[in-house]
Chain A
């Protein structure tokens, strides 16, 4: 409150932080506030907190998808033990790890490169930014339809380009059908679809670096490369951490592309944790078992998120 009106104001409406006792209007106000908060609280409780808590419980039962006459049994950690003894689970975990290790350089690299280009003063910058962002608003299902044609064996565009560039020495690759290449294909199309988001984050990061720092570096005689290395990169450190974590979490939740294009194949080379979970829960109808997988998935995401907190606190602030 500013000084002139202070006397009059405090007589009518007392400042909020102090909470004087017993006022009728306060009661009505509290009810109204509760009413405004209630829809969100109720919906989040029912559709987020409840299933979350339920997942820990179901994970320890033999809950089926369709109710059976026999009662649901408590099986303790049996589901987790079964998961850890299932080679397919480890394959899935290894596959998403592999996917993560691939997608980080490809997707973040592409995002960083395009952000650096867009950050320059260049004609039609907004047009380019608009074009670069187009894949990010394209639905993954649509992306799969397009890229399935690009990956066609043996005469799809990618194979033609490879053959052309290598003067026919490289044999056509069965992108989605070869266990060695299927995950690479998934990486390529995923990176194309999702890099726009990271690009925007990088652009915001670049805009956050003060122009004075560049001027100072220029006066000290730093060339473009040195300026990039000693001004841009340190300035982007929190952005890098954020982008890395977001990409990693996204990567561990890999599902749609795989479900549509490869169904985890060939030879389980693209089986992922979420696809494994859905397969068990929905196709094999073992929801208890699938819930155990979802608990593990949550723990993985939690660890990555905590790591981000830790790293950001170290580098930022």
Chain B
């Protein structure tokens, strides 16, 4: 049937002459590969320029080089810029800011994993009355953007006197409708027998969650860690509103502040930017597959 259909269409050369088809396919592939390479170059070159510039010593040279091909090359690479900015006190305490950001990231992610996964588990398998209502509220809350609650939140934390520290940058963002929902979704699709078998053995709800469901939920844990981690790492608006001193200032705010000065020390700005990029890049290289799948995971709900 399909053979006759193909034979009756002499206009499709691919069907008639296999050899021709293969050659055309290769040319097509070459064009494809060229496209890929060009796009990849365009996409990646800004990051490459950043890395190269951070290794140059002369801050005036960095700008002068930018418009030329020398921007892609450094003749005598040096780590001086990093040594200059990576202090733990003083004006260029980017080492400290980096550490602050890491602390905030770590606490937010760990707290978020515990709190949101417990809630997601109860919503999926608990027997509490009104679970469905709580779930509906959680989904509805997802629509509220951070930007639109940030002003009243500033009033709240300043009245409570908890501005300018680590807690104020961590605690408000631990519980999240999106991540609770992601955990709920993940737990809900695990087989019911798991839960019932454990219950029969007399395990408490928490035990079932802790020793049966949690070990099975590595994909969900990875997804939520990555999404929360990126979010915490990139926080900018909230920390500029609540941090006044450099005690708990994250590196994002520190770079922006440094960058906002009248005469920019490009060498230092570049080095600080690379510092900020490094931890997340290391995670990315180690867990690339997870990164990609976690972004898909965050988009599942409509």
Residue of B nearest to A274 (CB): B147
Residue numbers in B under 8 Å from A238 (CB-CB): 302
A13 engages B199 (CB within 8 Å):
yes
| CB within 8 Å for A301 and B145 given contacts A135-B47, A219-B6 | yes
Find residues 117-154 in chain A having any chain B CB closer than 8 Å to their own CB.
117, 120, 122-123, 126, 128-150, 152
Chain B window 267-302, contacts with chain A (Cβ cutoff 8 Å), 1 for yes, 0 for no: 001100100110011001000100110011001001
Enumerate 9 A-B pairs (CB-CB under 8 Å) in ascending A order. A33-B205, A48-B149, A65-B158, A122-B33, A130-B288, A149-B53, A242-B302, A290-B151, A301-B148
Residue numbers in A under 8 Å from B276 (CB-CB): 139, 141-142
Residue of B nearest to A28 (CB): B204
Q: How far is the CA of A49 from the CA of B177 in the complex (A)?
A: 11
A139 engages B252 (CB within 8 Å):
yes
Residue of A nearest to B183 (CB): A40
Residue numbers in B under 8 Å from A113 (CB-CB): 39
Chain A window 195-237, contacts with chain B (Cβ cutoff 8 Å), 1 for yes, 0 for no: 0110011001000000000000001110100000000000000
Residue numbers in B under 8 Å from A294 (CB-CB): 147-152
B151 engages A55 (CB within 8 Å):
yes
From DSSP, what is the main secondary structure of chain B's interface residues?
Answer: helix
Instruction: Give the top 4 A-B pairs by smallest Cβ distance, nearest first.
Output: A43-B175, A40-B119, A54-B152, A298-B148
A160 engages B68 (CB within 8 Å):
yes
Q: How far is the CB of A221 from chain B (nearest CB, A)?
A: 5
Residue numbers in B under 8 Å from A13 (CB-CB): 196, 199-200
Q: Quick check: is B174 within 8 A (CB to CB) of the other chain?
A: yes
Q: Quick check: is A159 within 8 A (CB to CB) of the other chain?
A: yes
Q: Quick check: is A76 within 8 A (CB to CB) of the other chain?
A: no
Known: A12-B200, A141-B252, A201-B295. 4 other contacts (CB 8 A): A39-B118, A142-B255, A146-B49, A256-B237
Max chain B Cβ within 10 angstroms of own Cβ: one of A134, A139, A148, A297: A139
Q: How far is the CA of A63 from the CA of B39 in the complex (A)?
A: 50
- Of B68, B121, B141, B151, the residue contacting A44 (CB under 8 A) is B141
Residue numbers in A under 8 Å from B74 (CB-CB): none
Q: How far is the CA of A35 from the CA of B284 in the complex (A)?
A: 35
**Contact residues of A with B, CB < 8 Å?**
1, 9, 12-13, 16, 19, 26, 28-30, 32-37, 39-44, 47-52, 54-55, 58, 63, 65, 67, 113-114, 117, 120, 122-123, 126, 128-150, 152, 155-157, 159-160, 192, 196-197, 200-201, 204, 219-221, 223, 238, 242, 246, 249, 253, 255-256, 259-260, 274, 277-278, 281-282, 287, 290-291, 293-295, 297-298, 301-302, 305, 308-309, 312, 316
Q: How far is the CA of A295 from the CA of B151 in the complex (A)?
A: 10
- Of A120, A291, A316, the residue contacting B32 (CB under 8 A) is A120
Q: How far is the CA of A173 from the CA of B152 in the complex (A)?
A: 41
Residue numbers in A under 8 Å from B292 (CB-CB): 129, 133, 200
